A and B are shown apart, each in its own frame.
Chain A
Amino acid sequence: MGRPGRAERHPAASERARRFAGHPVQWQTWGPFAALLALCLGFGIAEPSFLTLSNFWVIADSSAVPLILAVGMTFVVLQGSLDLSIEGVMALCSLTFAMLVLNSRTALDLGVMALGLAVLPGLCIGMLNGIVLTRLAVPSFMATLGAWSAALGLAMLLSGGQPPILKDEAFRAFGLGRTAAVPNLALVAVAVVMVGHVLQHYTRFGRYSVAIGGGESVARQSGLPVDRYKVFAFALCGLLAGLAGALESARIGLGHVDIGAGQLLGTVTAVVVGGTSLAGGRGGVLQSAVGALLLNVLANGMVFVGVIPEAQKMVEGAIVLLASLLATWQLRGRLWDVR
């Protein structure tokens, strides 16, 4: 038995909801965004040198890879699943990329094409994740856990103990350089976020992903090809993880197995903190982007204030816990089972 909608219990909220409901950016975004602003202000007061333009670009640069990863993870989480394989995919694509451009290990020099080819393994692994989920009925966390390990192993095979060093000047310059003071990687990240936002709100893939997360059985009943869109979401996540790995390689100048270390926790934290619910159906790309920025501002600010870097991992873990507790508390009206 259901309950009357919120409209009946809070007429004022219904009116507010009506004004905002159709608009892509809903008012739930503003919470984490407000927290982000408050955090910037707080750090700025504690340590004024935090609030400089050059630091802003530093934050933008360090947020680039987390932003790209968060966009990919968002679609998977919107559907109610989870992709644990992004670290392995990053490693694999980083090695692939490093070995396709001018480098110290192979004789290849594919230039820009290398980027396109390097993300293919990520795409394939993502598709495999989706297929294992939909065909073999293996829960996503298990399928992607296996994929994480396998991808890491493949990366180790490629690396062979000798990480390939990038010698392609163009890519290195791109990875480290700026365009009109804006770090290139940040520009790529912004582009990815925008494309992600459009995908989520203006394409079938995006809207059906929200439907799958909010009511999968209803979606199936209405004839939606749910399995197909699940595979899409994982494929996209893998693709973007691959892109992140390749770009990070360009930045640090080599392909490395550990290139993605710690990114999984950071990405999940960003998604949860931003307001995209792990139960699915709620939140979105912009929300996750705000979450990713929040975490990076926190990390950056902590350095300014003098907190040791080792504490960062611990803080991230605590934040995920708190954020998911908060999210659960918000949904407390609905009783459901979790595994």
Chain B
Amino acid sequence: MNSVVLRVERLSKSFAGVRALDGVSLEVRAREVVGVLGENGAGKSTLLKVLAGLCQRDGGHIAMRGRAVRFGSPREAAEAGISMVFQEQSLVPNLSVAENIMLGHEGVAVRAGFYDWKRLHAMGAAQLAKLDSTLAPWALTETLSFEERQMVELAKALTIEERTPHEPLILLDEPTSMLDAGQAQAVLIGIERLRGRASVVFVSHRLDEVLRVCDRIYVFAEGRCVGQGQRGVCTKAELQAMMLGRRHRVDSKDGSPPQEAPTSASAVILSVRDLSCAHRYHSVSFDLRAGEVLGIAGAAGSGRDSLCRALFGAETPDSGEIALDGRPVRWREPADAVERGIGYLPGERSTEGVVAGMSVAENMTLAHLGELRRGPFIGLRLEKALVRRWIERLGIKPCTSADMQAQLLSGGNQQKIVLAKWLIARKLRILILDHPWRGLDVGAKAEAVASIREVARSGIGIVLITDALDDLIALSDSLIVMKNGLVSGRFTCSAAKPPDWRVLECML
């Protein structure tokens, strides 16, 4: 058995009260590829960020090659031989491949500030050769395809070999998420090449790939390590079962009287036909009825985030039709959709949902100022009363916060503000929720779920995206699954809930 390169014990990390990592333990041995499998939000990215020195752990131990370490910065992690390939591409598009690979570490290729291009290209080619890649080192990075750029990222990560005396530990954060099966092949081959000279932690949600390339696999769920598997011993089904496991589920019933599932008699308020946007999603069609909750399941790269933004007018589809109440519409900007009664809770709450610097009241009324008008002016007294009413209704704490700056409230309360922003509209028809309880603690999440249920009961159609599959299945009246931009499955959940594994199958 190889020596242990990395040992992590009881690692924990919280963000704003939410446990992203909850006592995780694992180890990585020399020259092995360790897979970390799990759904979005399971804690995989956080683990990598702590290991790479991008954030500090709250508790637990990390030991590298037997010595306890604490990485205060990416540079310290790099000195220990840790190199990370991020999910968002970290290449400068208008530099050449060789420059990107050697960025910041050009060494002898740059003497006295002057570039020896031949040498730099040779160095780049040498790094690429480690992965058996034949990319031209002088090619401009932005002209490369996605998988070619991932190869460059791998080569860039591998340069750490020359900078530390140890064998490197390479962290890969979902390197194939944006690629289809064919494109991913090249990257997987590259990862296999890495094995000969480094240890690798390969984070992904794609079962097939993880099974193919990893020696050992850890399964994460909700910040904890819930299972382990060995190559050749573990089966896909076993891994799926581990991923789903026993977790904090949303109750299918919340104690309220059984709700009338919207029957096919409910009017179709939104219908989408063959909606396509190049490289994001293709030929998506579905109907949304009044009072119905439509869940969209899908992993990273499935195109569902883009789809929802297109429904709101934040992005423009290339072709296809969106119809509201049977009449086709075309949104040029979100304001068009808002006027017709559509609301959107963005995935990035702090940067896209809440305007930091404006008060709670101002944030709440931002989308529908027109409805508060007294003549040309904003009816301030009207606004105050409305805001106070909604603070009470949604339970925003502190309850005197109407004039407080919105960014000072907790994440859960900020989310309520964003929700209220749409609910105050007189004629809200459709609400699109993009990861509505991301980063919220259990209590805040329960409140958010209850609010959403209430909203649906009042006849508003809801489109829901969230990572936790259980929640999605429990809350949705109907479910569509997207994979690599196409609709890969449809389920109705009102009569009987579909089993998780079936949905997962369609997703991955």
Contact = CB atoms under 8 A, between A and B. Distances in A.
A17 interface: yes
Interface stretch (B114-122, B285-293, B442-450, B491-499): B114-122
A4 B301 contact: no
B145 A7 contact: yes
Given A1-B178, A21-B138, A204 B110 contact: yes
Contacts of B92: 210-211, 214-215, 218-219, 281
A215 B93 contact: yes
A22 B145 contact: no
Contacts of B121: 22
B236 to A, nearest CB: 27
A182 interface: no
Given A1-B280, A4-B146, A22 B117 contact: yes
Contacts of B117: 22, 202
A339 interface: no
Contacts of A282: 94
Contacts of A210: 92, 94-95
A213 B94 CA distance: 9
B139 A211 contact: no
Nearest to A2: B89
Given A5-B144, A223-B75, A224-B103, A22 B94 contact: no
Interface residues of B, number: 39
Given A22-B121, A211-B92, A4 B279 contact: yes
B139 A6 contact: no
Contact of B115 (A2, A17, A204, A223): A204
Contacts of B165: none
Contacts of B258: none
B305 to A, nearest CB: 8
Contacts of A221: 74, 90
A22 B103 contact: no
Interface in A204-222: 204-205, 207, 210-211, 213-215, 218-219, 221-222
Contacts of A5: 142-146, 148-149
A230 to B, nearest CB: 16
- Tier of interface size on chain A: 20 to 34
Given A7-B145, A215-B92, A17 B139 contact: yes
Q: Is the interface of B mostly helix, strand, loop or mixed?
A: loop
Contacts of A22: 96, 117, 121, 136-139
A203 interface: yes
A149 interface: no
Contacts of B96: 21-22
Contact of A223 (B94, B99, B104, B145): B104
Contacts of A310: none
Interface in B50-92: 74-75, 89-92
Contacts of A337: none
A23 B138 CA distance: 8
Contacts of B75: 223
Contacts of A218: 90-92
B99 A207 contact: yes
Given A1-B178, A202-B115, A214 B144 contact: no
Interface of B: 74-75, 89-96, 99, 103-104, 106, 110, 113-115, 117, 121, 136-140, 142-146, 148-149, 178, 278-280, 301, 305-306
27 contacts: A1-B178, A1-B280, A3-B278, A4-B145, A4-B146, A5-B148, A6-B142, A7-B144, A13-B143, A17-B139, A17-B140, A21-B136, A22-B96, A22-B117, A202-B117, A203-B115, A204-B106, A204-B110, A205-B113, A210-B94, A211-B94, A211-B95, A211-B99, A211-B103, A218-B92, A221-B90, A223-B104
